[in-house]
Structure 1
Amino acid sequence: MLMAADEISIVVERGRSAFDTDVVLRRAMERSLEIVGEAAKALSDEFVRSNPALPTSDLAKVRDRISHHYHRIDPAQLWTIATVDIPALAGQLRDVS
């Protein structure tokens, strides 16, 4: 999960303009967000209960939206998730580990 979050930060470092114009960067971010969401789904119930601040349900929903509703993905929303939610998640994961 943390590795995928770090990969998302690499895409973010390229900047919003590059993200908006480079389909490969967008797909890389989408895939990394799918990995984060899939990892969230795989966490044990005990871990989720022990770490209620982790937004595991939200991460799983993002994964499902990307995987199943890919034709309706809003790049601006992905960018917000990548620049606001994922850095916060990475910090939380580092605190837990």
Structure 2
Amino acid sequence: MSVERLVDYVDRMQQAAEQARALTDGMTESAFLADLKTQLAVTMSLVLLGEAAARIGMSNPDFLRDHPELPWSKISEMRNLIVNDDHRADLSAMWGTVRYDLANLISQLQSIRHWRIQGE
């Protein structure tokens, strides 16, 4: 995979994570659990996040090994759960991921992107 393509997938991951967070800004968990439209939009953002991560893993598995600080398996597991067994997706767990885990992931993705662009 070219560096440009890799950066594109990292950017897609970051954008999807930022979208999921933006969709829930100002919401409480109970408001999220009562809002089907937001649930569906957040779910789609998480699927897009997982898809971009999966493409990186398929095309450049060394990149995943080079960046073990990212929760690659958790990202894939959430995507797979949503896509393959959506009726079992735990909305409270999804809320926790979006509101508490994605901020750190976004920061890590920004660091990786800058590292790749600078060629360090």
Query: Which position in structure 2 is the counterpart of 1:36?
Result: 49
Contact 1:18 1:25 in 2 (8 A): no
Contact 2:14 2:109 in 1 (8 A): yes
Query: Which position in structure 2 is the counterpart of 1:53?
Result: 69
The superposition leaves residues 54-88 of structure 1 with CA deviations (integer Å, 9 ceiling, x where unpaired) of: 11111001000011111111111100111122111
Which stretch has the larger CA shift, 16-25 or 36-45? 16-25
The alignment's C-alpha RMSD in Å is 1.1
Question: Quick check: 1:77 aligned with 2:93?
Answer: yes
Structure 1 unaligned regions, length at least 5: none
How far apart, in 2, do the equivalents of 1:36 and 1:23 lie?
20
Runs of 4+ off more than 2 Å: none
Q: TM-score, normalised by structure 1?
A: 0.93
Which protein is bigger by CA-based radius of gyration?
2
Contact 2:24 2:38 in 1 (8 A): no
Residue identity (%): 31
Q: TM-score, normalised by structure 2?
A: 0.76
How far apart, in 2, do the equivalents of 1:85 and 1:93 lie?
13
Query: Which position in structure 2 is the counterpart of 1:9?
Result: 21
Alignment: residue pair count: 97
